[in-house]
Amino acid sequence: MTSGACARASQACDEALVRAFQILGKRWSGVILGTLANGTLGFAELRRQVIGISDSVLAERLVELHTAGLVERDVRPGPPVSVTYQLSGGGAALVPALHALSAWALGNLPSAQ
Amino acid sequence: MTSGACARASQACDEALVRAFQILGKRWSGVILGTLANGTLGFAELRRQVIGISDSVLAERLVELHTAGLVERDVRPGPPVSVTYQLSGGGAALVPALHALSAWALGNLPSAQ
């Protein structure tokens, strides 16, 4: 982690923040990564845990996150074929920041209830 | 910060992460907050620094962030009337997580160049 460097070089970090939100600013991307932080999952189980997402949007986001190198896709030949998803090293490196976001939301955003 | 608590209570933290991305999962919201982390700004200067945003989207995001209690709006009667925007306490509490996201992007997302 280089957050000390970020505090000093705000221009480069603003640019990096834009890059971070090109991924995380798309609906569900952050929640999908946060869900995979708990372990490897198949498509159906991932969809069940990301409450409210549709099949098509989940499929689209997984392609984007795989293309960005944040999620790995593991296909085991069947039958039946088994496809599972897990965080790559780059995706796993995001987990501490996701925990910081969760903690912030718990303390600073009102619950829907 | 309670990220230790988050690591232990993943269900509550997943729910909080959903809440965080209801705000940050909208295009530009995170970048606007990150820009205001550098100091109080008027609308025109904020628009100049958030490169690529339109007047209407910036205005819409500022209303949302103000409604969520993350940005304060200060109006000084003129003439000319002066309106400035700054992070609230809740918005400022997000800054360490934004720095963590920047550092992650620097290390894990390829630059556009």
Query: In this predicted complex, what is the ipTM?
Result: 0.83
> How confident is residue A14, by pLDDT bands cut at 50, 70 and 90?
confident
Mark yes or no for CB contact B25/A28 under 8 Å. yes
Nearest to B104 among A25, A34, A97 (CB): A97
Q: Is B54 helix (H, G, I), strand (E, B) or coil?
A: coil
Question: Which of A35, A102, A113 should be substituted to probe chain B, the one whose Cβ sees the most B Cβ atoms within 10 Å?
Answer: A102
The pLDDT of residue A32 is above 60: yes
Nearest CA in chain A to B29: A25
| Range B2-8 average pLDDT | 44
pLDDT at A10: 53
Mark yes or no for CB contact B93/A102 under 8 Å. no
Mark yes or no for CB contact A25/B23 under 8 Å. no
For A83, phi then psi, to 5°, come to: -120, 125
The pLDDT of residue B102 is above 80: yes
Residues of B within 8 A of A19 (CB-CB) are 105, 109, 111-112
pLDDT at B25: 86
pTM, entire model:
0.82
Where do the domains of chain A lie?
27-108
pLDDT at B1: 37
Residue A20 near residue B30 (C-beta atoms within 8 A): yes
Among candidate residues A29, A34, A9, A110, the one with its CA nearest the CA of residue B99: A9
Q: Which fold has domain A27-108?
A: Arc Repressor Mutant, subunit A (1.10.10)
CB atoms within 10 A of CB A22: 17
The pLDDT of residue A81 is above 50: yes
User: For residue range B80-98, what is the model confidence (pLDDT) as tens digits?
Assistant: 888 999 999 999 999 999 9
In angstroms, the Cα distances linking A43 to A81, B14, B113 are 12, 18, 33
